[in-house]
Amino acid sequence: LRHLHEDPEELAALAVLDGFGRLDSPDETSVPEPGDEVEEVLRRLYTETTALLPYALAPVPPPAALRGRLLTAILGDATQAVEDLVPPLPTPARGAGGSPLRFAAERRAHAARRPRWPALLAAAAAVIGVAGLGLWARRRSVRDFSRGPGAARADRARHPHRLDRALRRPSPAVALRRGVDDPGDQAADPSRRRGGGARELRGRPLPRGLARGAGAARHRLGEAAPETAPWLVVVFEELHGRHPDGGKRKNYYVKESVGIACGLFIAALHDMGLATLTHTPRRCASSPHPRPPGEREAVHPLPRRLPGRRRDGARPRAQGPRRGGDSTAVARLPGP
Amino acid sequence: MSSPPRSAAPLRASDDLAIVRRMVDGDADALAELYDRFAPLVLAVTRRILGGAGEAEEALQEAFLQAWNQADRYAPGRSSVSTWLLLIARTRSLDRLRSRGSRDRVAQAAAAEPPSVDTSSRVDDHVLHRERSQRVRQALAELPEEQRRVLELAFYEGLSQSEIALHTGAPLGTVKTRALLGMKKLREALRNEVRELI
């Protein structure tokens, strides 16, 4: 067989021969990759062989009834439009129990009811669209109900881009530019940096244009809560309860359950016309709000930032809270 | 709806092509003609691959159903109508065979008698294919046993070259060589047949 392996075409042939069955993995053969021309030669050889082999078999006359069954099933009623048979359908299972006659009948049935779907889908889309527009129209922004004169910039200040700037000492040029184009950002300069900046800021009135809690200096619950937030929502996880006899009853999947509940709650708020969740303040445990026994503050990611990119082009960090971090959500809702 | 089964008719590629074109136009009688011409050969292939009569007949029905639905995809330049139809039948049969699981297939191939060509002198009912069948059988019978075995395992069992190597115990390279040599010899011996079929 040596001569066979010296011929490049024959070598390539060995690689493509697996088309006879199914392709083997490439690492099972060391022959070179066949080119298109060689592939064509071998494809022809393969086709010729497969065309010849069936003729080695003795023909088997099919049962007489099979012809009638087949033609009836495929062609169906003489009035059935042939075009209805042609469109592709979901591929039927080809298990041992599958009957091609049944597939053909299903094909005809499907073709018969096909024209109804576009109208139904269009109607459903219209209903959903109208309902969605209604919901959208009822939504409100914090700008719509805040009493502060700078509320129009409140959620701009919450943008990650702005937040990121607030945490850095800006260059004089940047500070100068901020002072010109956005008075709300004046407060973000250096007093809003971590540590000393936050301490300096504490006790000073914040400009109306800058939402509290947007930077490193977050306000704490109970001190200087946003004036325009009529509702304060505190979520606790019930880690365990009590049996009637006083014994401890452990709850399972607490975080998952509370997370789902928070999701439903937020969806309901939005449906009611919620504008925004202004922020998720930290240190709920030390807040004046009592924490029920057996419960702890829930730590769940709540939407509190607007999408955007940081100044350096990096993607904003994940919105999930850090351990010991965000624990409650303060929601601004339309007033009564 | 369709004409009754026809008696044997001359096997001409132009006739077959005309049948397929009529099928594309939605002519139900054309499908019946195609069935009358090739159903015995198609059933021979499906029975050879699947064994049982019931499943073989279902594979035959699937093949004709696909031929009817996809008649417009037939490319006359690539193969004859009979080759196109027989390859459809083979594919549908192998689909069913593979649904039984590859282990079963290898086990069945190992347990089964070596598939041999039909060299009996019985008279075929279908006169159209008799002479061609005899020539193909003769050419196959002249192949070395191991080459013929590789071709039959690949075509009728749908085994890959690796599976054939596993089944026969021969190295993979040897299996590929045997397959290639077998195909080339077959083509050399049946040049006239190939010209008619392709």
> Residue A142 class from Cβ within 10 Å (0-12 exposed, 13-18 middle, 19+ buried)?
buried
Render pLDDT for B119-134 as a digit per residue (tens, 0 to 9).
333 344 455 567 777 8
Binding-face residues of A in 62-101 toward B, CB within 8 A: 62-63, 66-67, 69-75, 78, 82-83, 85-86, 94-96, 98-101
Residue of B nearest to A18 (CA): B161
Do A44 and B164 count as a contact with CB atoms less than 8 A apart? no
Q: Where are the beta strands (DSSP E) in chain A?
A: 231-233, 236-238, 240-242, 248-250, 276-279, 295-297, 329-332
Residues B15-61 pLDDT 10s: 788 888 888 888 888 888 888 888 888 888 888 888 877 888 888 88
CA neighbor of B33 nearest in space, from B48, B51, B20, B52: B20
Query: Rounded to whole angstroms, how far apart are CA atoms B104 and B41?
Result: 26
Distance from CA of B145 to the nearest CA of A (A): 15
The answer to whether B80 contacts A51, with C-beta atoms less than 8 Å apart, is yes
Q: Are A52 and B57 within 8 A, CB to CB? A: no
Q: pLDDT digit of tens for each residue in chain A (336 aa)?
A: 334 444 444 544 555 554 444 333 333 333 334 455 666 667 777 777 777 888 888 788 888 888 888 888 776 644 343 334 333 434 444 444 445 555 556 665 555 555 567 778 888 888 888 777 776 666 555 455 555 554 444 444 443 333 333 333 434 444 433 333 344 443 444 444 444 344 444 444 444 444 444 444 444 433 444 445 556 667 778 888 888 888 888 888 888 888 888 778 777 776 666 545 544 444 444 444 555 666 666 554 444 333 333 444 444 443 333 333 333 333 333 333
* Residues 6+ away with beta carbon under 8 Å from B59: B46, B49, B50, B89, B92, B93, B96
Closest to A304 in 3D by CA, of A202, A188, A195, A226: A226
Query: Looking at chain A, which residue has its C-alpha nearest residue B25?
Result: A82
Contact B136 A53 (CB under 8 A): yes
Inter-chain residue contact A49 with B90, CB threshold 8 Å? no
Picking from A13, A55, A101, the nearest residue to B133 by CB comes out as A55
- Spatial distance between the Cα atoms of A165 and A184, rounded to a whole number of angstroms: 13
Q: How far is CA B119 from the centre of its chain?
A: 17
